[in-house]
A = this chain, B = another copy of it.
Amino acid sequence: MSSRPRIVVVGGGFGGLWATRALSGDGVDITLIDRRNHHLFQPLLYQVATAGLSSPDIAAPLRHILRNQRNVEVRLGEVTGIDMQSRTVTLADGEQLPYDCLLLASGATHAYFGHDEWSRDAPGLKTLDDALAIRRRLLVAFERAEACEDPDERAAWLSFAVVGGGPTGVELAGTLAEIARHTLKREFRNIDPSHARVRLIEAGPRVLASFPESLSAKAQRQLEKLGVEVVTGTAVSAIDARGFTLGEQFVPARTVLWAAGVAASPLGALLGVDRDRAGRVPVASDLSVPGHPEIFIAGDLASVVQDGKPVPGVAPAAKQMGAHVATAIRARLAGKPAAPFRYRDFGNLATIGRMAAVVDLHGFKLSGLLAWWFWLAAHVFFLIGFRNRIIVLINWAWAYWSYQRHARIILGQDNLERHPGERRDPS
């Protein structure tokens, strides 16, 4: 369309979107490619999975976010090839997009550590479709328990496990306990939902390992107060439709959720360069791929080590990388050297459940109710789009006073009567 430099951005998450927006005033033509039509506020995805929020509350169409940025074209599509020689990206529909600079920011997906067969019985949480599939499983489990005559089978339906004690696992387990103890109160006739057992399994010595030990201990106590059984120091060795095996012991549980492993997006493999164990691409100081100064990586796909420690896979890091890549592209187009990327760590937050969270701001530590308010304010503030913020606040205020979760609607009903192990993957 012109002789302006062509920038191709793959992925409309925090990394890709922040880079794209930072280039809004530049004389470049940007194509932003994503497999999905929306930007997702991933930190609140567990709320969709646990029926507290609706999908549109935490997602906004990429086209809409970028409608006024005239140097961007948004393209719904899947990248299947990258030709670094001819500098071309190929999409699944066959279209080829030439680039002068390329940003890969396609994020991460679940990893089952060589046990991909577990994915059927222990779904993970990365997309809105994942969240709706998990929501369906949680709600159906209580329905099946209610309809069940056999006490052992009923107990198995009321047995829930979350594998992985990081922030997502802690959020899921805490909210699940809250649903069982409060939200569903008085709604069933044959079961008492508060008798549901919620286990959080962490192979390492403590939950929230990225936090100081004192906050891990506080988080565990808060989880236990909510009714979660926290199991640390033991790995899950098998998962099937009936339950899971912990060490040598089989534990019946019809609902197992996976929050343990993350692997970088497979797109990194298309570059043909070395990657680390989690599939991330080690980058140069300006976030470019070594030997390919025209290709950049941002977000969970990038392996960045700073002061001897890896930069964590969190939203603020992805945003900062995205913004830095915009600067680096600008420098490259001007023929100047790019400044090195430097991650500014503002602190670490994790929520546990109703009125419980932990906050670590470089030594200034908070836990409990105050930390929860801090977490809430930060998340509502960063939620994209003015409208969403208001609606989410109203939903939360409502949930807070009533213990209700408005999104308890099971979608994809055709799957209801099947056993979860027989279910086809959510679509």
Which A residues are closer than 8 A to B by beta carbons? Answer: 35-38, 54-57, 59, 61, 63-64, 67-68, 73-78, 92-93, 95, 127-129, 132, 139-140, 143, 146-147, 184, 186-190, 387-388, 390-391, 394-395, 398, 402, 404, 406-417, 424-427
Contact = CB atoms under 8 A, between A and B. Distances in A.
A394 B390 contact: yes
A128 B409 contact: yes
B68 A186 contact: yes
A187 B408 contact: no
17 contacts: A36-B410, A54-B54, A54-B407, A55-B407, A56-B408, A61-B187, A61-B409, A63-B184, A74-B187, A75-B147, A77-B417, A78-B416, A92-B417, A128-B411, A129-B412, A129-B413, A426-B427
Contacts of A61: 187, 408-409
Contact of A413 (B54, B127, B391, B412): B127
Contact of A410 (B37, B416, B424): B37
Task: In the A-B complex, list the 8 residue pairs whose CB atoms are closest, starting with the nearest.
Answer: A54-B54, A63-B187, A76-B143, A56-B407, A73-B189, A67-B187, A37-B410, A61-B408
Nearest to A183: B64
Contact of A147 (B95, B394, B416): B95
A424 to B, nearest CB: 8
B93 A139 contact: no
Nearest to A143: B76
Contacts of A93: 147, 417
B189 A55 contact: no
A409 B427 CA distance: 14
Contacts of A394: 390-391, 394
Contacts of A147: 75-77, 93, 95
Nearest to A68: B186
B187 A139 contact: no
Contacts of A416: 35, 76, 78
Given A95-B147, A147-B77, A410 B56 contact: no
Given A147-B95, A394-B391, A409-B38, A404 B188 contact: no
Contacts of A411: 55, 128-129, 132
Contacts of A146: 75-76
Given A76-B146, A387-B406, 17 more contacts: A35-B413, A38-B409, A38-B410, A56-B406, A59-B409, A64-B404, A73-B190, A74-B187, A74-B189, A75-B147, A77-B147, A92-B417, A93-B417, A129-B411, A129-B413, A387-B398, A427-B427
A12 to B, nearest CB: 13
A63 B409 CA distance: 11
Nearest to A407: B56
Most buried by B among A73, A128, A387, A409: A409
Contacts of A57: 54
A65 to B, nearest CB: 10
Contacts of A189: 73-74
Most buried by B among A59, A410, A424: A410
A408 B37 contact: yes
A95 B417 CA distance: 13
A409 B388 CA distance: 13
Nearest to A34: B413
